Amino acid sequence: MIRPLGVGLLGLGTVGTGVARVLLAKSDALERRVGRPVQICKVLVRDLDKARAVDVQVPLVTDAQAVIDDPSVDVVVELIGGEEPARTLILQAIERGKHVVTANKEVMAKHGPTILAAAAARGVSVARSARRVW
């Protein structure tokens, strides 16, 4: 059996919920495009007890390291916004050999060259969407 492409979400707010819904609703199309199943493995949230607008049916965690260090996570999607801790978490994910997707304009505007250099050195990609790579 082909191992799924594991996705770890850092954040499940408004944008994170939208990303999770798309990943869940478009799983067949994503599998055809990627060549293997795409599955959410773990999700970072601030509050484990908060009601969610989407049921991801995977572990919710409050420690970002649980997502970044998970060997089943191949791609980390940063959805928390702001400069910190997003910058640090993106760099840690890259250091661990994870590809990163982010729409965080602040982090990329202030730290883009550093992040891209780290990704190039580690041989991973940093993307802002499924179609365009930074």
pLDDT for the residue 90? 98
Q: What is the mean pLDDT of residues 119-128?
A: 95
pLDDT (tens digit, 9 = 90+) per residue, 59-116? 999 999 999 999 999 999 999 989 999 999 999 999 999 999 998 999 999 999 999 9
pLDDT for the residue 94? 98
Per-residue confidence at 129, pLDDT binned at 50, 70, 90?
Answer: low
pLDDT for the residue 133? 41
Amino acid at the residue 106: E
Q: Which residue has the tokens 């980390």?
A: 76
pLDDT (tens digit, 9 = 90+) per residue, 23-56? 999 999 999 999 999 999 999 999 999 999 999 9
Q: What is the mean pLDDT of residues 11-26?
A: 94
Query: DSSP of the chain, one letter per residue?
Result: -PPPEEEEEE--SHHHHHHHHHHHHTHHHHHHHHSS-EEEEEEE-S-TTS--SS---S-EES-HHHHHT-TT--EEEE-S-SSTTHHHHHHHHHHTT-EEEE--HHHHHHHHHHHHHHHHHHT--EESSSS-B-
Q: Is the pLDDT of residue 130 over 50?
A: no
- Other C-beta atoms closer than 10 Å to the C-beta of 83 total 13
C-alpha dihedral sign at 48, 16, 76, 107 = negative
